[in-house]
A and B are shown apart, each in its own frame.
Chain A
Amino acid sequence: MLIIPAIDLLNGRCVRLTKGDYASEKIYAENPTQQALAFAQQGAAMIHIVDLDGAKAGKPCNQAVILAIRKSLEIPMQVGGGIRTLSAAQFYLENGIERIIIGTKALEDLDFLNRLIAQFSAKRIVVGMDLREGKVATQGWLKTSDQGYREFLQDLKKVGVSELVVTDIEKDGMLTEPNYALMEEISKLGFNVVASGGVSSLPALQKLKALNVFGAIIGKALYEEKITLKNALRITAKNTLTKRIIPCLDVKNGRTVKGINFENLRDAGDPVALGKYYAEEGADELVFLDITASKEKRKTVKELVSRVAQEIFIPFTVGGGIETTEDIRELLQAGADKISINTIAVKNPKLITEGAKAFGSQCMVVAIDVKKIGDTYKVFIKGGSEETTWEAIAWAKEVEKLGAGEILLTSMDRDGTKAGYDIELLQQITAAVNIPVIASGGAGSQEDLLAGLREGNADAVLAASIFHFKKYTIREVKQFLSSHNLPIRI
């Protein structure tokens, strides 16, 4: 669904009215170009501009300001307000405005629409239908006509109109709820409906999206910070990226630890054989965590990585004992896709930046072990044996800034308890950073994985024992998560 942030212009400034009442003007920005650029920078794909002076006067009044915005902005704009003559319409359409909105004039003169559509195409001519108690309002909402909207829509269909902005004046600027039934009804008639008025919460946007409404204009809710544009764009965007299920294999001296018995697997102690088995079962990635303590460690890890890369053709991460960029280089060249660092990241944070620069952020995973001390989530290192001065959210933000491409977040309080992931911790970290977060520590059931992904907003879940001890197969887990409407690769 298209999210279109609104800029309403009165005397060249960005304002909002309540219920279309000009006396209720509230100024939000002196410089509308800056406001438009800020929306575009956040990722808006189109800006909605209303010339309020123009709507009232019956002719455009803020063209200079609008064209100044057009010059600075890369994304499409739709403009409405006082466009009641062919020359006013042509002025905008020939000066780079993608779509113009015809309100009052559409009601008075269908032939006017007909001519514009013939000249500029239906996609660029939007009819702004403003409703007050089921009747179409005109002239900056100062008047209400006698015409009912159903009859009016039939006329619009006849002249080839496909694009509508539908505003329920009773809802506009009220920060309440949009008129869902109305938006749905008109969408079903085959129009691309952009809902306007009262769109003020994320659930409202989700509901409109579910009703297959084409787009929504958000104004006051943004300016009043009821919702952020970032969240509005994120929840309404079409995004088919799946959540990842990642089994973790602990490896010591080249062998997997934690006892397992797989009937159709001859040697579950061989990390490559086990990894291959998981990959065939549908694992989205693998993590190999080396816990060897001996001097031979580096050699055995490298050998393991080479073998994995030769036999398994899904991405895998290697962690354990990496201390220098040279270590990272060796493992990546041997075929690892990502490396994971933990203690060394705290001791020598520069390594994150150096690794990201040399090999790309995408291969730098920072593992963060967290324990709740009093009311604070604290970061621990050295396998959880040493408390650091870092608070978890601050450290997560720091590693993102330093160049980490992903965070592997383990709750030490939950690890091994099978009580489920620490959802509160996950929520705080996923909200704080803009890189993927893998949840780890505490998964004992499929429901725990579901909660980590859905409530915790994790991008991936890491689990060891529930797979190793065959409580569930990966296939079963993925079916389960998919049946709960999570995007899963099956």
Chain B
Amino acid sequence: MKIAIIDYDAGNLRSVANALDLLQIEYFIAKQANDLEAADKIILPGVGAAGSAMQKLISSGFAEAIKQTKKPLLGICLGLQLFADFSEEENTDCLGIIPEKVKLFPPFLKTPQMGWNQVNFTNKSPLFEEIPDASYFYFVHSYYLPTSKYTLAQTDYGITFSSVVQKDNFYATQFHPEKSGELGLKLLSNFCKLC
């Protein structure tokens, strides 16, 4: 089994790769869309702004390949937000996998939300195997995806938002599993075990 990590210049690739190294899971860095053909599963990492990320995904052909794929795909942080129809960040049209709108946290909250917060499961998922409900994971973000029927877990930061979502073969976490210690690694390993 091989995991493709999509490289579209949007950061924390190294950390995800390091985590997979530790878990002894085979992976490669996908630099162009047709690289994904060789993969069994795909990870879409992401740090940075929605606008430039979408531009890069579109110009590289990754955007179309992601929308078409039937392989399990895990979006991380910005990767989750790109699943939406639209993001208020730079007023960006996103991948349109989940019909929701990504919003900026209201001004009464500090932005970015930075630190460890509780992830409350709202649905069962093989991603949560051996992870207790209400465990802490590490978040860094200023925008959020509202809860919807695709929400697997939610988190309270003044606003209750989607911290884990799934639609068909598309999974995503708003937090960084690669930076959330043991339980984060567990979640990554659970994703890699999905059939």
Chain A residues at the B interface, C-beta cutoff of 8 Å: 41-43, 229-231, 233-234, 237-244, 279, 284, 309-310, 313-315, 332-335, 337, 359-363, 405-406, 434-436, 459-460, 489
Which residue from chain A places its CB closest to the CB of B47 in the assembled complex?
A360
A132 to chain B minimum Cβ distance, whole angstroms, is 34
A366 to chain B minimum Cβ distance, whole angstroms, is 14
Cβ contact within 8 Å between A314 and B115:
no
**Could you give 6 example pairs across A and B, Cβ below 8 Å?**
A234-B108, A238-B156, A315-B179, A360-B48, A361-B142, A459-B114
Q: Given the known A-B contacts A335-B18, A362-B112, A436-B114, are A238 and B179 also in contact in the complex, defined by CB atoms under 8 Å?
A: no
Q: Besides the contacts A239-B156, A335-B18, what 16 more A-B pairs have beta carbons closer than 8 Å?
A: A230-B108, A233-B106, A234-B108, A240-B155, A241-B116, A242-B136, A284-B116, A313-B22, A337-B12, A362-B47, A362-B114, A362-B140, A362-B141, A363-B11, A434-B111, A436-B115
Cβ contact within 8 Å between B22 and A435:
no
A421 to chain B minimum Cβ distance, whole angstroms, is 18
B55: interface (CB < 8 Å): no
Cβ contact within 8 Å between B181 and A244:
no
B113: interface (CB < 8 Å): yes
Cβ contact within 8 Å between A241 and B113:
yes
Query: Dominant SS at the B interface?
Result: mixed
B153 to chain A minimum Cβ distance, whole angstroms, is 13
Cβ contact within 8 Å between B108 and A489:
no
Q: Given the known A-B contacts A43-B106, A315-B179, A489-B136, are A361 and B112 also in contact in the complex, defined by CB atoms under 8 Å?
A: yes
Cβ contact within 8 Å between B115 and A460:
yes
Cβ contact within 8 Å between A242 and B115:
yes
Whole-angstrom CA separation of A313 from B139 in the bound complex: 13
Interface centre among A238, A279, A362, A489 (most CB of B within 10 A): A362
Residues of B within 8 A of A241 (CB): 113, 115-117, 139, 157
What mask results when residues 122 to 159 of chain B are scored 1 for a CB within 8 Å of chain A, else 0?
Answer: 00000000000000101111100000000000011111
A60 to chain B minimum Cβ distance, whole angstroms, is 31
Cβ contact within 8 Å between A315 and B138:
yes
Which residue from chain B places its CB closest to the CB of A305 in the assembled complex?
B14
Residues of B within 8 A of A337 (CB): 12, 15, 140, 179
Cβ contact within 8 Å between A244 and B115:
yes
Whole-angstrom CA separation of A237 from B107 in the bound complex: 13
A-B contact count (CB 8 A): 123
A123 to chain B minimum Cβ distance, whole angstroms, is 17
Which residue from chain A places its CB closest to the CB of B113 in the assembled complex?
A241
Cβ contact within 8 Å between B107 and A406:
no
Whole-angstrom CA separation of A111 from B160 in the bound complex: 36
Which residue from chain B places its CB closest to the CB of A362 in the assembled complex?
B140
Residues of A within 8 A of B179 (CB): 313-315, 337
Residues of A within 8 A of B178 (CB): 313
A429 to chain B minimum Cβ distance, whole angstroms, is 13
Cβ contact within 8 Å between B112 and A435:
yes
Interface centre among A42, A43, A313, A405 (most CB of B within 10 A): A313
Cβ contact within 8 Å between B181 and A360:
no
Q: Which 7 A-B pairs have the closest CB atoms?
A: A43-B106, A237-B158, A233-B108, A489-B136, A335-B14, A489-B116, A230-B108
Which residue from chain B places its CB closest to the CB of A230 in the assembled complex?
B108
Cβ contact within 8 Å between B18 and A239:
no
Residues of B within 8 A of A234 (CB): 108-109, 158
B191 to chain A minimum Cβ distance, whole angstroms, is 15
Cβ contact within 8 Å between B115 and A237:
no
Q: Given the known A-B contacts A239-B158, A313-B180, A362-B114, are A43 and B15 also in contact in the complex, defined by CB atoms under 8 Å?
A: no
Whole-angstrom CA separation of A337 from B175 in the bound complex: 13
Whole-angstrom CA separation of A360 from B108 in the bound complex: 21
Cβ contact within 8 Å between B156 and A240:
yes
B135 to chain A minimum Cβ distance, whole angstroms, is 9
Cβ contact within 8 Å between A313 and B112:
no
Residues of A within 8 A of B139 (CB): 241
B132 to chain A minimum Cβ distance, whole angstroms, is 13
Cβ contact within 8 Å between B110 and A310:
no
Cβ contact within 8 Å between A405 and B107:
no
Interchain CB contact (< 8 A) of A242 among B117, B176, B182: B117
Whole-angstrom CA separation of A186 from B34 in the bound complex: 63
Whole-angstrom CA separation of A32 from B138 in the bound complex: 41
Whole-angstrom CA separation of A310 from B14 in the bound complex: 9
Q: Given the known A-B contacts A313-B22, A334-B14, A405-B112, are A239 and B157 also in contact in the complex, defined by CB atoms under 8 Å?
A: yes
A489 to chain B minimum Cβ distance, whole angstroms, is 4
Residues of B within 8 A of A405 (CB): 112, 114
Cβ contact within 8 Å between B108 and A229:
yes
Residues of B within 8 A of A242 (CB): 115-117, 136
B64: interface (CB < 8 Å): no
Cβ contact within 8 Å between B110 and A313:
no
Whole-angstrom CA separation of A218 from B191 in the bound complex: 46
B118: interface (CB < 8 Å): yes
Residues of B within 8 A of A231 (CB): 108
B19: interface (CB < 8 Å): yes
Cβ contact within 8 Å between B185 and A313:
yes
Residues of A within 8 A of B138 (CB): 314-315
Residues of A within 8 A of B182 (CB): 313
Residues of B within 8 A of A436 (CB): 110, 112, 114-115
Cβ contact within 8 Å between A359 and B48:
yes
Whole-angstrom CA separation of A405 from B160 in the bound complex: 22
Cβ contact within 8 Å between B112 and A238:
no
Residues of B within 8 A of A42 (CB): 106-108
Residues of A within 8 A of B75 (CB): none
B58: interface (CB < 8 Å): no
Which residue from chain B places its CB closest to the CB of A231 in the assembled complex?
B108
Whole-angstrom CA separation of A304 from B141 in the bound complex: 26
Which residue from chain A places its CB closest to the CB of B179 in the assembled complex?
A315
B25: interface (CB < 8 Å): no
Residues of B within 8 A of A362 (CB): 47, 112, 114, 140-142
Residues of A within 8 A of B180 (CB): 313-314
